């Protein structure tokens, strides 16, 4: 009993290992992103020197800062919705009354993984019209899968003995979920959230193929208009953004990772 | 307690049947468009029939009389095989006397209802013998194939699109499979030894896996696009490479990017597969006088094979999905249908490409599952 008690008390308070590498993984991409945002708008001359044959060496249709903001907003909104939906479904499918749904939920996740993101975007547009609505729908449909999968995996791996101990201590169903199961599953769930956000950054990039204005717009326009400068500008920014998101959420994930 | 359990067991029936009922009630089954490019008008024939069928399924889930499972399974099977037939018949009725360019497209209601029915059938068949499962799905597939051959779906826009583009579609499938297959072979040939090396020296693990995970984070479109420059430069620097079809756009940068994305899972699963072999088994083999390579070949590979195969399954499905984006840098494949369709505003073309990709991915997934089951049975 004492062991279980100790493991219950230590939950959610894993000390953040202040190692150098994880910090670098946040600082370096974030710095690169900020520097790119500051420098790129004034880099027309460099791109002209590199590719003198281009008449428009700098993407100016929308400012890079505005593109980054829309991109971040889309990803944040989609990830938030994915967490609510995915975690909710994950909790439902691991309760005794909802357990029979688990195989169906798994099947949906497996089949969903085979759908190409572009296609979901393309099919959502005629249903919802152009703009952010179809992009958000596609991002959420994609983002839910990793959160759901990791929530189920995390909640399933909570040892039965721990659950029995919590029951024995008189924890109610909700208190057990909130104070025992979710903290113990927080590591895997956060891994799912990080994956979901990364997938969303990539899908939002492709979203510009169906008319969304994101950091993918310079890439797509560059590919269509044979302008490598646009492609490089968009790709550098979106790469730095993806690595920043990965670094930040990775730090949160390690914070939640349980110490045994 | 037993009360909750029995109520819980009917939950998939209730949830999926209600989804299908709501989809049949509120979402359009078909869109009738004046031509290939214009938006359609929603219509929903047969709503009453569908309503009745799903209503019966919901009642079965709620009342659970003896044999309700068989009734629900029958309704699900009939929906999986019969919904396309209903849609095809409705299309023929609508097209009768309409302008030649009129297109009858399958709409959201059809897809949601059909997917719910398929999931319900999957749920009902779980726990039955493999023969029953294969028989049910095989029969449904046979019905759909037979109806396709007899021309029952010829009125549907999707089938018309396919008939109009049969040769390019077949070619796109071949290109797509070729891209994925080359990537997979390259990834196994390089990732396998790399994984073995990482497994031998645990300290390399952090660096190699860290680097590959870093690459995995970069969005596919950005990586594909960034490779154009270096590959164009390579082709210019070595004209022999350029003569071989190696250039900034096309298959070469696409396979390279797909290979980079495939390396991480291949390395990870190789390490996991090698680690799955108990140390005792390795020691025993070494004690028998086997060399390290012999141990790898005759002990570790056969024993770690299932883990490797499971990894390959994930890599194969991932690569087929990522190869769609490769169409943007001129590598062809089914992604070309999707992007050309988007460019033209032809939703049927997008759908045709998408269905091709999904069927391809699911087929590969199933093939790996069968091989996995066979090897596990032998072991």
pLDDT (tens digit per residue) in B284-324: 888 888 887 888 887 787 778 888 888 898 899 889 988 99
Q: Are A155 and A90 in contact (CB under 8 A)?
A: yes
Phi–psi pair at B127, nearest 5 degrees: 90, -15
Helical residues (DSSP H) of B150-165, grouped into ranges: 157-164
Q: What is the pLDDT at residue B239?
A: 78
Q: Do B226 and A232 touch (CB under 8 A)?
A: yes
Q: Do B342 and A242 touch (CB under 8 A)?
A: no
* b/e sequence B117-129, b meaning 16+ C-beta within 10 Å: bbbbbbbbbeeee
A210 lies within 8 A of chain B by CB: yes
- Please state the ipTM of this predicted complex: 0.80
CA–CA distance, B317 with A113 (Å, rounded to integer): 8
pLDDT of residue A122 exceeding 80:
no
Mutation target vs B (from A28, A93, A118; most B CBs, 10 A cutoff): A118
Partner residue facing B12 (CB), from A97, A100, A205: A100
Q: Which tokens is B12 given?
A: 């998939």
Partner residue facing B350 (CB), from A100, A122, A243: A122
Q: Which tokens is B199 given?
A: 């497994």
Q: Which residue in the block uniquely carries the two structure tokens 């039955």?
A: B128
Q: What is the pLDDT at residue A244?
A: 93
Q: Do B365 and A114 touch (CB under 8 A)?
A: yes
Angle at B65 between CA B59 and CA B66, to 5 degrees: 140
CA distance B215 to chain A (A): 9
Count of alpha carbons within 13 Å of B331, Cβ hemisphere only?
A: 33
End-to-end CA distance of chain B: 40
pLDDT band at A130 (very low <50, low <70, confident <90, very high): low
Nearest chain B residue to A29 by CA distance is B214
Report, in angstroms and rounded to the nearest whole number, the Rg of chain A calculated over CA atoms. Answer: 22
Question: How crowded is residue A155: how many other Cβ atoms within 10 Å of its Cβ?
Answer: 21
Q: Do B365 and A110 touch (CB under 8 A)?
A: yes
Q: What is the mean pLDDT of chain B?
A: 86
CA distance A131 to chain B (A): 15
CA distance B97 to chain A (A): 27
A128 lies within 8 A of chain B by CB: no
Burial of B374 (0-12, 13-18, 19+ CB in 10 A): exposed
CA–CA distance, B257 with B231 (Å, rounded to integer): 11
Q: Which tokens is B109 given?
A: 């209601």
Q: What is the pLDDT at residue B213?
A: 82
What is the largest distance, in Å, between two alpha-carbon atoms of chain A?
76
CA–CA distance, B368 with B379 (Å, rounded to integer): 16
Q: Which residues of B touch A114 (CB under 8 A)?
A: 317, 320-321, 357-358, 361-362, 365
Pick from A68-82, B14-28, B86-100, B221-235 the range whose average pLDDT is largest: A68-82
Q: Do A118 and B347 touch (CB under 8 A)?
A: no
Helix or strand run (H / E) with residue B105: strand B103-106
Q: Which residues of B touch A127 (CB under 8 A)?
A: 108
Q: Do A219 and B222 touch (CB under 8 A)?
A: yes
Q: Are B276 and B195 in contact (CB under 8 A)?
A: no
Top pLDDT among B34 and B376 is at B34
Helical residues (DSSP H) of chain B, grouped into ranges: 2-9, 11-26, 47-63, 68-95, 108-125, 130-149, 157-164, 166-200, 204-217, 220-237, 239-243, 251-275, 279-287, 292-295, 301-322, 334-344, 347-378
A33 lies within 8 A of chain B by CB: no
Three-state secondary-structure class, residue B355: helix
Q: Which tokens is B270 given?
A: 């190789």
Q: Do B222 and A104 touch (CB under 8 A)?
A: no
Contacts of A34 (CB under 8 A, 6+ apart): none
Q: What is the pLDDT at residue A151?
A: 92
Q: What is the pLDDT at residue B76?
A: 94
pLDDT band at A16 (very low <50, low <70, confident <90, very high): very low
Q: What is the DSSP letter of B219?
A: -
């Amino acid at each position: 009993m004492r062991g279980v008690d100790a493991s219950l008390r230590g939950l959610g308070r894993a000390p953040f290992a202040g190692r150098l590498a994880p910090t670098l993984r946040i600082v370096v991409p974030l710095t690169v992103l900020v520097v790119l945002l500051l420098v790129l708008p004034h880099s027309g001359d460099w791109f002209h020197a590199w590719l003198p044959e281009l008449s428009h060496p700098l993407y100016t249709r929308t400012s890079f800062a505005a593109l980054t903001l829309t991109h971040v907003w889309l990803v944040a909104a989609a990830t938030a919705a994915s967490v609510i939906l995915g975690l909710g479904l994950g909790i439902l499918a691991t309760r005794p009354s909802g357990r029979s749904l688990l195989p169906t939920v798994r099947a949906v996740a497996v089949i969903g993984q085979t759908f190409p993101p572009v296609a979901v975007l393309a099919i959502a547009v005629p249903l919802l019209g152009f703009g952010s609505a179809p992009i958000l729908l596609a991002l959420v449909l994609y983002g839910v899968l990793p959160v759901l999968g990791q929530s189920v995996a995390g909640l399933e791996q909570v040892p039965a003995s721990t659950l029995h101990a919590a029951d024995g201590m008189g924890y109610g169903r909700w208190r057990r979920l909130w104070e025992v199961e979710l903290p113990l599953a927080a590591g895997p769930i956060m891994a799912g959230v990080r994956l979901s956000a990364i997938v969303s950054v990539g899908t939002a990039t492709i979203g510009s193929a169906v008319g969304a204005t994101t950091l993918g717009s310079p890439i797509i326009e560059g590919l269509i208009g044979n302008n490598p400068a646009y492609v490089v500008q968009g790709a550098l920014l979106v790469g730095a953004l993806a690595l920043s998101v990965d670094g930040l959420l990775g730090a949160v994930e390690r914070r939640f990772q349980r110490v045994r | 307690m037993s009360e909750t359990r029995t109520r819980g067991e009917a939950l998939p029936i209730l949830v999926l049947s209600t989804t299908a009922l709501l989809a049949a009630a509120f979402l359009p089954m078909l869109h009738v468009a004046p031509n290939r490019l214009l938006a359609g008008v929603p219509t929903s024939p047969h709503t009453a029939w569908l309503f009745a069928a799903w209503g019966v399924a919901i009642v079965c889930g709620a009342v659970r009389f003896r044999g309700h499972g068989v009734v629900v399974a029958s309704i699900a099977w009939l929906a999986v095989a019969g919904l396309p037939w209903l849609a095809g018949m409705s299309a023929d009725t609508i097209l009768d006397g309409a302008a030649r360019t009129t297109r009858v497209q399958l709409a959201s209601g059809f897809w949601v209802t059909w997917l719910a029915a398929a999931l319900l059938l999957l749920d009902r068949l779980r726990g039955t013998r493999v023969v029953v499962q294969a028989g049910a799905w095989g029969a449904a597939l046979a019905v759909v194939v037979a109806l396709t051959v007899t021309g029952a779906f010829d009125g549907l826009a999707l089938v018309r699109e396919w008939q109009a583009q049969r040769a390019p579609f077949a070619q796109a499938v071949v290109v797509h499979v070729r891209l994925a297959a080359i990537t997979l072979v390259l990834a196994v040939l390089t990732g396998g030894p790399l994984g073995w090396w990482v497994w031998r020296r645990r300290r390399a693990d952090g660096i190699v896996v860290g680097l590959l995970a870093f690459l995995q984070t970069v969005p596919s479109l950005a990586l594909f696009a960034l490779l154009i420059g270096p590959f164009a430069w390579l082709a210019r620097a070595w004209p022999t490479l350029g003569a071989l079809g190696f250039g900034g756009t096309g298959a070469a940068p696409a396979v390279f990017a797909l290979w980079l994305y495939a390396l991480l899972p291949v390395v990870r699963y190789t390490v996991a597969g090698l680690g799955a072999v108990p140390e005792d088994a390795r020691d025993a083999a070494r004690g028998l006088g086997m060399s390290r390579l012999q141990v790898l070949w005759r002990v570790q590979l056969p024993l770690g094979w299932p883990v490797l195969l499971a990894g390959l399954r994930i890599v194969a499905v991932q690569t087929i999905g990522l190869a769609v984006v490769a169409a943007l840098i001129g590598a062809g494949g089914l992604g070309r249908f999707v992007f050309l369709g988007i460019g033209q505003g032809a939703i049927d073309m997008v759908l045709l490409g998408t269905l091709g990709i999904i069927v391809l991915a699911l087929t590969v997934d199933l093939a790996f599952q069968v091989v996995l089951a066979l090897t596990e049975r032998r072991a």
